[in-house]
Structure 1
Amino acid sequence: MKLNLYFVQEDLPELRFEGTPVDPPTVARCRIAQFVDELPGHLDEGVMYVVRASTLALHPPKSTKTSFLCLGSAPKAWKDAALNLLHSEADVEPVDVMNAVIRLFDRYRVWEEDLHALVDQHMPIDMLGARSVGIFGNPVIAQDVSYRPFFYALPSPGEETEAFRIYREEVYGQHVGEGGLSVPRKTAMAFNQNSDFAKLENAEDPVLFTGDTWSKLSVHSLSFRSLLYNCRVNGTLLARVIVDDIVRPFRKKDYVLVKVLGDCLTRGLQTAGIGDAGQSTRFVRICQSLLSGETVSDGRIAAVMEKLGWHDSDRFFCIVLRERKLDRKFSAIARVAIAVTAHDDSRQHCFFDGRALIVCDLSAGTHTRDEVIADVLRNVRDLGTIVSFSSSFFGFGNLAHFYRQALVVERVGRIEDVSSEAYRFEDYVVDYLIARCEEGSTVDAIVPDGVQKLIELDKERGTRDAHLLKTFLDNDRNIAKTVREFYIHRNTLLYRLEKIKETLGSDLDDPDVRLSVQIALRALRVSADAPYGE
């Protein structure tokens, strides 16, 4: 493991090294320490040179990346130069300094090797936290980008302070339940809406978050700082490691330590097959394959569905988000996708072609399509995003059809109302049909949810309400003619039509609704001799 001079300054205070290295705390270059009687002509920036002040030249080298531990008072030119230099006038033998520094390197080398061994042996991710919490002496959290923890490791302070007690109860306690680690929705939303915290997602190096989010959530107005490191794969944010300074103040070496832990966490998540935002990489890949028009085998789909606890034959629907300004990075739609899918295993998301796609398994979840839509709309409000909703469909393999359906709905919807931020399929059925009339599509893609539900109820009950509705509309809603064709009483027809309207959830007085239902029923080829009941 590579260290910097801050480790020596903070871990070996008895050596009384003074000075301020030119490198920031986030930079660690030194892989070994070496004592030299005289500096070599070629300096290796990976070496921490331990040298007597009496052997130094009057003027320092031009290299500003090399690190020096000077025993004695360094020449003035060295102290004034922009160097990675610490000097000590303590009465200590060089051999004692070297032994202490070597033990320091060994301690952190063993820690890093242990972390990598845990990953290589496919041990549980939370063991990374258990092995690291003693190194930091503060709570250590690893979470996905939806704030859901992979692990939450608490230290065991020798003397528990009141602040730590409150932290354990209010902060740690919120994340731990009978079902394991989670994050309260209120907490996730508070951070999701914090613009200062959102800016930190772009940071490549460890950064300090000093916002007041937790103090606002805390009953006791608990305040602390967090050191945060973003874990990325190919530039995509995968997870983050956070250290909270509730037990002891941060040290400069913590900036290097949190990065080492974060890089090991990234390896561990990739090894476990966890991709973007805690999503299964297999789910993301299969979505991208389907949306790209690639042929995907039923077996491959079934394997991904089984992993998620879904079934290929379940009822799904798509939500597609994009930024209103096309030249803007899609951080806002990512935040919405993460917030909507964070606490519900029946929802998954991925990114494709500059958009966020949320796939909802209505059969596996406990919420209706309308409830999911309401949840999304709460999250997109005033974020400058555009969202479109497909109709529901059966069979995950049909995903690409309904993704394209949502895109068409957005396009035709914006022609009618460019100021809107949300477009639903059921509001633009006729426009969608017109837009797609020259394109091939599956039959289900033009069937409104209410019609699908009506047909499902017919199958369950052995009724013919779908055919009754088709006949009624084909007869221009003529009651007498429909009664004669179905051989039923007028009151029976009126009663059944009211029930059909309730199932459809649509107003048949609207000519666009009538047209969309008629087209859907014709496309589905409702059989004239299907069974029905009174």
Structure 2
Amino acid sequence: MNLNLYLIADYLTAFSFQTRFVDDLSASPLTSLRLFDPEQPLCPSRLYLAAAADLPALIIADEPCSIICIGTPPDAYLKSNLNLLVLDSEVSLTRVFNAVEEIFLRFNQWEAQLQTVFYTKKSIKALCDASLDVFINPISVYTSDLKLICYAEREKPDQLMLFNTADNEQYLSIDEINALKIDTDFIHTINTRAPEIFPKDIFGYRILIHNLHLQNVYVARICISETDRPIKNSDFLLIQTLAFYSELCLRDHGDQPYNHHPKDFDSLLTELLSHREVDARALEKYLNYYHWNQSDAFCCCQLPISSYEKSTLTANALAFQLSTHISGSCVSQYDNAIVLIINLTQSGKTRNQHLANLAYFIRDGIIKAGVSNEFNGFAKLSAYYQQAKIAYEVGSLYDETLWCYRYEYYALPFLIARSSAGYDPEVLCASGLLRLREYDQKRGRNYCEVLKVYLENNMNIAKTIRILFLQRATFLYQLKRITEIAHLNLSDYPTRLHLLLSFQILEQQNRC
């Protein structure tokens, strides 16, 4: 295994010394230890051991080289392209040589152990277990979407353990996910290739991380949690070695699933949501897996996956948290959205109760949801998914500050927008209302508003005059003038319906 002088310095604990580094923490140039020979040119892959008295006054190093010097080296060395570790002049050269050789031997043995683990078990968990004596701190591996693949931790009292067996194959909590999504340090680490320290602000301890890639795609990360000992400079190099063998193991793993659905269930949901026919027997089998019946009552939610969700890779984690936290539910992903299907019959809760529970995940405006009406019959899912999608699309235009858009609140605006698209309002609106609007504009009156309030309150005079702050006689006079100007028969239901729809069309097109 290649080392660097940072690692040598961390493990040369029997000596006191001073250091000067020019290499990066993650550089790994050193393959072996050599006694310094002034007749031989320096090689960047060798670590040289020398007494200060044996060093020439000047030294030339085109590339960074590394020297352990017993005694103070000439001044030129402190300004040259060298990594230096300077020990007291009284130290035995033989003792130092043997101590450094032991460090090389120790980490060559560790790498050999990692190689053996890879070739025999091909398990990232086994790699972490084999590395625990090197890092001391807990080691964990998470998928890019924040699911724990495995961990390794020294035995301690339960209250001091960072992980337990129940954490395996689990995502981070929703609180942790939401905190990470808006954390600039976390977002920065998503695209890093070198080891980095994640600050302690969120978890209460620092974490040394290294991302794992397959075919240049970030798929997982190794985390060394600073809970048992301080993170050392050498850990930056060591985590790179562990990452190398972990990536080899990942090549033998299938895609990490984001849910625990039976095989092919997500494909069947995609077919159903795409308005394509599905095998009734296959659908029945999957419903039986959840102990659901075709005739149960359901509702459907659509939670679009934003570009921000995609960039922070947290959509799968959110989907998993939803499925475990919302009783009687299953979650899939379709058309760049999380689809949450809730069985109201099985859960024993109402739609309103589930939406109140859903608010826990949607708070702070990080995620928004469109919600369908309640329906009976799972085979109708595609139609009610469309309701949820419409609710989100229309609701986010009308009320962008809300987190939850219920279809019943936006069905009429959607219908009006679809039916009036491409038409001038004057083509669709009641002619009497257009005459009344023109009269208001010329005479400075508000007869359109009076008529609208009167119709919206089912022609209840008491409610209308209370809303408009009008006397009864004044209102009755205005109502008489309205019917005269607009030539309206308000006792006719189709006329009233046409007028109410006309008001909606004009409002949507900002024409009233």
Query: TM-score scaled to structure 1, two decimals?
Result: 0.57
Q: Hey, what's the Cα distance between the residues in 1 that align with 2:14 and 2:105?
A: 14
Which is higher, the Rg of structure 1 or of structure 2? 2
AA of the residue aligned to 1:242:
C
RMSD: 5.3
2:185 aligned to which of 199, 202, 205: 199
AA of the residue aligned to 2:67:
L
Other-structure match for 1:211: 200
Other-structure match for 1:386: 368
Other-structure match for 2:32: 33
Alpha carbons of 1:96 and 1:407: their partners in 2 closer, same or farther (altered >3 Å)? same
Q: Hey, what's the Cα distance between the residues in 2 that align with 1:290 and 1:56?
A: 77
Alpha carbons of 1:29 and 1:283: their partners in 2 closer, same or farther (altered >3 Å)? farther
Other-structure match for 1:272: 253
Q: CA deviation at 1:311?
A: 9.0
Deviations 1:199-231, CA, capped at 9 Å, x for gaps = 3243124443453656xxxxxxxx654434444
Q: Hey, what's the Cα distance between the residues in 2 that align with 1:98 and 1:170?
A: 34
Q: Hey, what's the Cα distance between the residues in 1 that align with 2:269 and 2:2?
A: 39
Alpha carbons of 1:184 and 1:409: their partners in 2 closer, same or farther (altered >3 Å)? closer
Alpha carbons of 1:68 and 1:283: their partners in 2 closer, same or farther (altered >3 Å)? farther
Deviations 1:264-313, CA, capped at 9 Å, x for gaps = 555545643243767899889959986997999979x98x969x979997
* SS of 1:109 mapped into structure 2: helix
**In the alignment, is the contact (CA less than 8 A) between 1:275 and 1:281 conserved in 2?**
no
Alpha carbons of 1:48 and 1:332: their partners in 2 closer, same or farther (altered >3 Å)? same
Alpha carbons of 1:271 and 1:61: their partners in 2 closer, same or farther (altered >3 Å)? same
Other-structure match for 1:247: 228
AA of the residue aligned to 2:302:
I
Q: More displaced, 8-17 or 258-267?
A: 258-267
Deviations 1:85-107, CA, capped at 9 Å, x for gaps = 43445422386366335303412
Q: CA deviation at 1:386?
A: 3.4
**In the alignment, is the contact (CA less than 8 A) between 2:213 and 2:219 conserved in 1?**
yes
Other-structure match for 1:256: 237
Q: CA deviation at 1:328?
A: 9.0
Other-structure match for 1:130: 129
- Tell me, yes or no, if structure 1 residue 317 matches structure 2 residue 300: yes
Other-structure match for 2:92: 91
**In the alignment, is the contact (CA less than 8 A) between 1:4 and 1:29 conserved in 2?**
yes
AA of the residue aligned to 1:272:
H
AA of the residue aligned to 1:424:
R
Percent identity for Structure 1 against Structure 2: 19
Other-structure match for 2:68: 70
Q: CA deviation at 1:170?
A: 5.8
Query: TM-score scaled to structure 2, two decimals?
Result: 0.59
Correspondence 1:37-52 to 2 at 5 A: 37=37, 43=43, 47-50=45-48, 52=50
* SS of 1:68 mapped into structure 2: strand
**In the alignment, is the contact (CA less than 8 A) between 2:299 and 2:371 conserved in 1?**
no
Correspondence 1:214-363 to 2 at 5 A: 224-231=205-212, 238-262=219-243, 264-265=245-246, 268=249, 271-275=252-256, 286=267, 317-323=300-306, 330-331=311-312, 334=315, 336-337=318-319, 339-341=321-323, 347-348=330-331, 350=333, 355-360=336-341, 362=343
Deviations 1:424-468, CA, capped at 9 Å, x for gaps = 334333455667789xxxxxxxxxxxxxxxxxxxxxxxxxxxxxx
AA of the residue aligned to 1:211:
K
Q: CA deviation at 1:77?
A: 2.6
AA of the residue aligned to 1:91:
S
Q: CA deviation at 1:357?
A: 1.9
Unaligned runs of 5+ in 1: 157-163, 215-222, 439-510, 512-534
Other-structure match for 2:459: none
2:104 aligned to which of 79, 102, 105: 102
Deviations 1:141-164, CA, capped at 9 Å, x for gaps = 3345676543343314xxxxxxx6
* SS of 1:127 mapped into structure 2: helix
* SS of 1:86 mapped into structure 2: strand
Alpha carbons of 1:102 and 1:321: their partners in 2 closer, same or farther (altered >3 Å)? same
- Tell me, yes or no, if structure 1 residue 427 matches structure 2 residue 416: no
**In the alignment, is the contact (CA less than 8 A) between 1:146 and 1:339 conserved in 2?**
no
AA of the residue aligned to 2:93:
V
Q: CA deviation at 1:11?
A: 2.0
**In the alignment, is the contact (CA less than 8 A) between 2:3 and 2:104 conserved in 1?**
no
Correspondence 1:121-160 to 2 at 5 A: 123=123, 126-144=125-143, 149-156=148-155
* SS of 1:419 mapped into structure 2: coil
- Tell me, yes or no, if structure 1 residue 409 matches structure 2 residue 391: yes
Unaligned runs of 5+ in 2: 421-496, 498-512
